[in-house]
Amino acid sequence: MRSYNLYIAGYNIRIESSSDGPELLPSERFINYICFDNNHDIIIKVHSGKFNIPSEAEKVFDAPYVEELNGIRIKKNDRFWSIYKQRNNLYISTILPLSQKQREAILQFSLDKREWDLWLDSIDDETDPLEYPLDGLILYYLTVLHGDIMIHASGVSYEGRGYLFSGISGSGKSTMAKLWDIPGVKIIHDDRLIIRKEGKGYVMFNTPVYNNDEPFESKLDRIFIIDHGTENRIVQLREAESVSLVMSNCIQHNWDSSIIAGLLDSVSDLTRAVPVARLFFLPEKSTVDHILKNEKRI
Amino acid sequence: MVNLKSVPSRSSSVVTRKTGSEYVLVPVTNNIADMNSVYTLNEPGAFLWELIDGENNIEDMIEALIREYDIDEETATADVFEFINEMNKYLIIKNQ
């Protein structure tokens, strides 16, 4: 197809092949996010071939290719994706490590424009324009544009209340989501969430990570920074600790002080509205009871 | 070498936000490996951070700390030098 719209975390993203661009074939994990509303927040024009980043552009951020095996992060390649800046224009140059062929992509965008350009090289007749890591990078800069928050976290909704569990790698985000796999609970996601302010409250949304993902959202009532413990224990946090711990689990490209200041504002507002606590937990169902009993006490 | 007459100022390599009586500090970085380093300064740390204005020297900071927390000069001197040493990456030190 030549174009389609995705509805992810409340953002309407239009993907459109340019006249020189390829046929577009969204991969399985995006299928449930395709929408037929053309009222887009952002349009991404897809082109075929190589794009040369202007030589005047300065490299501002680098990411090596890291894989996580059993909670251990292993650097597989120094070169993964990099960000370049020339005045208001930003460029992300990335390899597509999960591609069968050696492929590269360049995203040209600006935080004050709603039309971005994506160049894909070595493409077949049909291509998924949001192959890893492009989807995450585009979603991240959409959160920057809107003052939203993208965070490594799992989230569940139960009896109309939303609970978010964030923490460093290996802290048990997926384990926590599995513990809540009980009747009446909606698992929003076990890995990555986007948090957006809606009215006076906050809503957490999932994003396409796995092939069978479909759009889920829930209002957000409580945030837990989790870690494995020898007992189930909830520890209240000071205001600065809440901001610091939530901030340190956010996805963030901290090459620009105004981007950092924007996220700090968003996280500060969030932690004033939604209580944050540390949760040390045992990987067993008693954790869920402990959280729910704590809710009744408050 | 930092001495009593050195004047520290804040560098642009860190973004700070006062939260309650403490500060949250987020360094500017050019590599994803350093990305999620976020620091907090407790109340005395926040007090010292606010004294760093490109005009106060180390001696001024020690005197202010003694007045604010009613501690002896030796302790205050050690605390200020330790603070300056720990925050060194986010400071520009001018020696007089």
The band of A65, judged by pLDDT with boundaries at 50, 70 and 90, is: confident
Q: Of A293, A247, A254, whose CA–CA distance to A270 is shortest?
A: A247
The pLDDT-based confidence of A298 (bands split at 50, 70, 90) is: low
pLDDT of residue A75: 64
Same domain, residue pair A201 and A264 = yes
**CB contact residues (below 8 A), chain A span 237-276, against chain B:** 238-241, 243-245, 247-250, 252-257, 260-261, 263-265, 268
Confidence of residue A64 (pLDDT cuts 50, 70, 90): confident
Q: Do A243 and B19 touch (CB under 8 A)?
A: yes
Residue numbers of the domain that contains A267: 149-297
Query: Span B11-90: which CATH code?
Result: 1.10.10
Q: Which residue has the higher pLDDT, B86 or A68?
A: B86
Distance from CA of A138 to the nearest CA of B (A): 16
Give the residue from chain B lying closest to A151, CA to CA.
Answer: B36
Please say which residue of A129, A146, A163 terminates a domain.
A146
This model of the complex carries an ipTM of: 0.88
- Do A202 and A274 contact (CB within 8 A), yes or no? yes
Spatial distance between the Cα atoms of B80 and A7, rounded to a whole number of angstroms? 52
Residues A118 and A172 in one domain: no
Provide the token pair at A155: 């989230």
pLDDT band at B36 (very low <50, low <70, confident <90, very high): low
| 3 state DSSP class of A149 | strand
Average pLDDT over residues B50-69: 97
User: In which band, very low, low, confident or very high, does the pLDDT at B96 lie, cut at 50, 70 and 90?
Assistant: confident
Nearest residue in A to B39, CA atom: A244
With 80 as the cut, is the pLDDT of residue A73 above it?
Answer: no
Q: CA of B4, closest CA in chain A: separation in Å?
A: 31
Burial A30-59 (b: 16+ CB within 10 A, else e): beebebeeeebebbbbbbeeebebeeebee
- Say if residue A141 is in the same domain as residue A103: yes
Max Cα-Cα span within chain B: 43
Check whether residue A163 and residue A271 sit in a common domain: yes
pLDDT tens-digit series, residues A204-239: 999 999 998 999 999 999 999 999 999 999 999 999
